[in-house]
Chain A
Amino acid sequence: MTDTPLSLIRNFSIIAHIDHGKSTLADRLIQACGALTQREMTNQVLDNMDLERERGITIKAQTVRLSYPAQDGKTYVLNLMDTPGHVDFAYEVSRSLAACEGSLLVVDASQGVEAQTLANVYQAIDANHEIVPVLNKVDLPAADCDRVKEQIEEVIGIPADDAVEVSAKTGLNIEAVLEALVKRLPPPKGDASAPLQALLVDSWYDPYLGVITLVRVKEGRLKRGMRIRMMSTGVVHLVDQVGVFAPRMTNVDELGPGEIGYINAAIKTVADTNVGDTLTDDRRPASEPLAGFKPSIPVVWCGLYPVVADDFEKLRDSLAKLRLNDASFHYEAETSAALGFGFRCGFLGLLHLEIIQERLSREFDLDLIATAPSVVYRMLLTNGTTEELHNPADMPDQSLIEKIEEPWIRATIMVPDEYLGAVLTLCSERRGMQEDLTYVGNRAMAVYRLPLNEVVFDFYDRLKSVTRGYASFDYQMDGYEESDLVRISILVNQEPVDALSFIAHRSAAETRGRSICAKLKELIPRQLFKIAVQAAIGSRIIARETIGAMSKDVTAKCYGGDISRKRKLLEKQKEGKKRMRQFGKVEIPQSAFLAALKMDQ
């Protein structure tokens, strides 16, 4: 039973640039509130996916309910939401923000305001959040609180005088953060007697419990045994369990207005849990759904195919389960001449793509081939229709295309003075147009418009290397523009490998065609027959490499005793070949595929 008065509830998100210490601060807050014992604590305890722990980043937002006895003598319920910092997961942040009234804006005091600090804080301001700035890592010798406060005021435009100075690592000043939360953030509003309106914030699949749904109750009460209705679909479910994350799952009888918790309602199909949907009481429904949030739009698409064709159904099931954990990724069935049956999948960015792929292989034990990632192009066809192009292989003949448009972004790059030159060069190489260039102390903030296509693949890596990791980067979609784009097909022994075709600006086509041919020559092992690798625009060949036939492959000795062994070896080889992709007489090992698709474009 939780029957907490609204005045004693504080809901907040922790937002920051990547690695500024959100998850570590969450650890300290959990500890300070005694939710976990010393023994139960690990570093970044909320990062519970293997992948999160290995990479040291947060991928999924996490929620914890804490109880904090404040200096005013009252005990408050604090609902903490730790969010990811990486730009690909901005959507996770926006959902958390919708469930809270305030944000802790964590800024690394040794680094200052970075690109995602800006992006996230602006989202929080848009969500009408009260914001408490927290300067973290003050234990570091490079920490410079005064300068960072100045930056916050100057660049973001919010007061930073009473920013809390902490070290999440050493635990310094954590109590002050808790007091600031209680004193400075507003309590939620809501009417316990009104018809139920609960925001569906997130849902995921738990192998033991089935679908778990994270909700924020806005109005009314959400009780065990209630029949709830999903307002977008009208589907009704019986609520089996209601609970909170403390941080372990703990059942309660009901959740009142202002509270955040989970329900378990024997929901089986993915389609029934649309993130952003409103849950209401089937017997006494609310008249209006909540505002929800704008759906996430995948910006990078690629095909995912099972290495073993028999795994197609398994892939379908796994994607459905993953989608339940991650509403921001999209998929639809497609077929490829080269790869057979698979799915075209949409992601929020390349890191997101990489993570989904890795989860599919780890959590679902699938061997996959991914095709070259592509952004979404818009084609105006001569017959007057407009089509979105998710897959370069689907691009119609040039003669049918009136014009083709590509997505642009508005990028914010923050970088120390001395690297600015390198950044500007990189941006102009990528067809960027400068919009703005300002200085905050010795840091420059460059705003550029760039074609997304030039950014999604290796822009981060290049940016990191030309600035030795000192630049930060964030972007937003910024419309479509006509462009001179061509599709480059890759042919192996004259046969097009649809999975390797890609779209590029005409000015870059030849260079990229040549480099992918050269890369394939390196990656495809020499085989029985020589192999021609070509890049073509339409029927015009723009690059060509030949992989010579292997020079020798024969066992020296073979007498009577070896016949059985050799036959069995041959049979095994035939099995092994199923793991290769066959293009005519050419086998492309999966590793070559992956590497070619990953290569710097």
Chain B
Amino acid sequence: MDGPMGREEPLALYVHWPFCLSKCPYCDFNSHVRAEIPRARFGNALRRELAHEAGRMGERAERPVVSSIFFGGGTPSLMAPETVAGLIEDTRTLFGMTDDVEITLEANPTSVETGLLRAFRDAGVNRISMGIQSLEPEALRFLGREHDAPQAIAALETARALFSRISFDLIYARPGQDARAWRRELDAALALVSDHLSLYQLTIEPGTRFESLFRQGRFHLPDDDDAAALYELTADVAATHGLRGYEISNYARPGAESRHNLTYWRYGDYLGIGPGAHGRLTRNGATFATRRHRAPEPWAERVERTGTGAHPEERLDNRDRAREMLLMGLRLAEGISTTRFRRRTGMTVPDATDPDILHAAIGEEYLVHDQATGILRATAAGRLRLESLLAALVL
């Protein structure tokens, strides 16, 4: 059997908005700063690309139904609410949406954007992911954020009045941040939000301003032992507030997980539009990796000229898919269903992994392979060392 059958699974839609007010020094996302953000042009281009992609997926009746939309960026709260509304409407007409469709928008807590939250809700957004990053004034300055702590709290309050589902991001394991300080900050954060948090350890990404500062020795990060201790502390504190680490950096009350992001980690199909957006699409039993032009204006030009800013698609073979599904799926606490693994990749877990490492990793309690349920999952200890584990395990 060559390929997966994706038809019975709904589709996730990702929309990339590539503009921000300023570039954060740690950020390696496809985000850009413009004196004047070309809102109308990019709104139109996004809608055009969505329609174009829908057309490539057959007649209306043949297309999968959309179960989640994620407006990510960049800073999508800088989009015109009409664009958001238009894209949601287009999705409904072009694909159809499930009744419980999850529509998330990433927002930054500056006052301007907070003012637009109601308009986004009216456009159809039902989940907000807020880029708070820290509640400490000094840390916000270090991270180069445009907002301060009171603004962050005000934004969360506004959001709470409008949306039933709210998440926010925090960055920890910052220079000089010890366990006590982090516990205090995290407790305060958990008092503000009740169902979902993304908690990232600060990492130095190539090409960022932090990279050059770090190399010059201008600041230091906790070593691996300290970082591991902070990670474990994070899970403990989250647990006392009823939030479970369901993915390496994501914590949620059961049922409040981000369904959109779960699609990535479960290696489901997703359509990505906008500059630099990636996708995984199943067509006629084969899986294709899709990718779009990264630079915003050239992407828009292409869309205006041809309807799409896509690069040529890459067809993924069974091995590629097996690798991808392992490296995504083992990030999840729930792990990978081996039956679904076979269906999505055409390979079995034993075919895709090194038997000695699998055995040793189970012995070391990095992995659990439950024969009864057919689930392979990484334990907390395994997830903490996932990159090395994958490098050794995945064939």
Contacts and interface: CB of A to CB of B under 8 A. Distances in A.
Q: Specify whether A and B are partners.
A: yes
Interface of A: 527-529, 549-561, 563-564, 566-567, 570-571, 573-574, 577, 585
Q: Among the interface residues A528, A573, A577, which one has the most CB atoms of the partner chain B within 10 A?
A: A528
16 contacts: A551-B227, A551-B385, A552-B224, A552-B228, A552-B384, A553-B388, A554-B387, A559-B72, A559-B261, A561-B276, A563-B264, A563-B328, A570-B323, A571-B323, A585-B356, A585-B357
B145 interface: no
Contact of B249 (A549, A557, A561, A585): A557
Contact of B324 (A549, A555, A557, A567): A567
A527 B320 CA distance: 25
B105 interface: no
A560 B203 contact: no
B323 A550 contact: no
Contacts of B323: 567, 570-571
Interface string B195-238: 00000110100000000000000000000110110010000000
Given A555-B203, A570-B391, A529 B225 contact: no
Nearest to B171: A556
A551 B387 contact: no
B178 to A, nearest CB: 17
Contact of B394 (A551, A570, A585): A570
A546 to B, nearest CB: 14
B248 A556 contact: yes
Contacts of B389: 528
A493 to B, nearest CB: 10
Interface residues of B, number: 49
B289 A527 contact: no
Contacts of A550: 224, 385, 388
B280 interface: yes
B248 A554 contact: yes
A585 B358 CA distance: 11
A252 to B, nearest CB: 60
Contacts of A560: 12, 14, 263-264, 270, 272, 278-280
Contacts of B370: none
A105 to B, nearest CB: 54
B391 A554 contact: no
B297 interface: no
B193 interface: no
A556 B169 CA distance: 12
8 tightest A-B CB contacts, nearest first: A552-B228, A551-B228, A556-B200, A561-B278, A560-B264, A528-B388, A554-B386, A552-B224
Contacts of B278: 560-561, 563-564
Given A560-B270, A560-B272, 5 more contacts: A528-B389, A529-B364, A551-B384, A553-B388, A557-B203
B168 to A, nearest CB: 15
B291 interface: yes
B377 interface: no
A528 B391 CA distance: 10
Contact of B331 (A558, A564, A571, A573): A558
B40 interface: no
Contact of A552 (B279, B366, B385): B385
Contacts of B385: 528, 549-554
B272 A555 contact: no
Contacts of A574: 391
A561 B277 contact: yes
Contact of B388 (A527, A559, A564, A566): A527
B392 interface: yes
A553 B276 contact: no
A555 B202 CA distance: 10
A-side interface mostly: loop
B201 A556 contact: yes
A566 B327 contact: yes
Contacts of A528: 361, 366, 385, 388-389, 392
Q: Among the interface residues A555, A571, A574, A585, which one has the most CB atoms of the partner chain B within 10 A?
A: A555
B360 interface: yes
A527 B224 CA distance: 12
Contacts of A585: 356-357, 360, 392
Nearest to A559: B264
Interface in B9-32: 12, 14
Given A551-B384, A560-B14, A585-B356, A567 B320 contact: yes
Contacts of B291: 564
Interface in B119-149: none
A563 B280 contact: yes
B165 interface: no
A570 B352 CA distance: 14
Given A566-B327, A585-B357, A555 B392 contact: no
Nearest to A526: B224
A448 B376 CA distance: 67
Nearest to B328: A563
A559 B277 CA distance: 11
Contact of B231 (A552, A561, A570): A552
A281 B286 CA distance: 77
B390 interface: yes
A560 B320 CA distance: 15
Interface string B318-343: 00100110011001000000000000
Contacts of A577: 391
A567 B360 contact: no
A565 to B, nearest CB: 9
Nearest to A565: B278
A572 to B, nearest CB: 10
B383 interface: yes
B78 to A, nearest CB: 19
Contacts of B14: 560
Contacts of A567: 320, 323-324, 327
B367 to A, nearest CB: 11
Contacts of A527: 388
Contacts of B320: 567
B293 to A, nearest CB: 13
Nearest to A566: B327
Nearest to A571: B323
A558 B278 CA distance: 13
A552 B391 contact: no
A205 B24 CA distance: 59
B273 to A, nearest CB: 12
Given A549-B364, A554-B386, A555-B203, A561 B272 contact: yes
A225 to B, nearest CB: 64
A529 to B, nearest CB: 6
Interface string B34-49: 0000000000000000
Given A560-B280, A561-B272, A577-B391, A553 B386 contact: yes
A140 B363 CA distance: 71
